[in-house]
Amino acid sequence: MRLMMILFSMIGTALAGSGVVLVLTMGLGTLWPIVAAAAAGAVLALPVSWLVAREIG
């Protein structure tokens, strides 16, 4: 569980940042699309972190 949370801090940041860059590239530079993309990246990072931690540990 500890490894998963450490990985989540890195994977979540990367996925949320990628989502924000994607939204800005699409020309949706208002508040709600940016917030939604960051939230979606953070939510998507939970199972990804769990899978990576399971493979490592």
The model's pLDDT over 3-46, given as tens digits with 9 standing for 90+, comes to 999 999 999 999 999 999 999 999 999 999 999 999 999 999 99
Which pLDDT belongs to residue 4? 97
Q: What percent of the chain has pLDDT over 70?
A: 100
pLDDT of 57 reads 85
pLDDT value of residue 28: 96
Q: How far is CA 20 from CA 1, 3, 4, 11, 33, in A?
A: 27, 26, 23, 14, 8
* Integer Cα distance of 50 and 57 in angstroms: 10
Contacts by 31-37 with C-beta closer than 8 Å and gap 24+?
none
Name the pTM for this structure.
0.89
The residue type found at 6 is: I
DSSP letter, residue 26: T
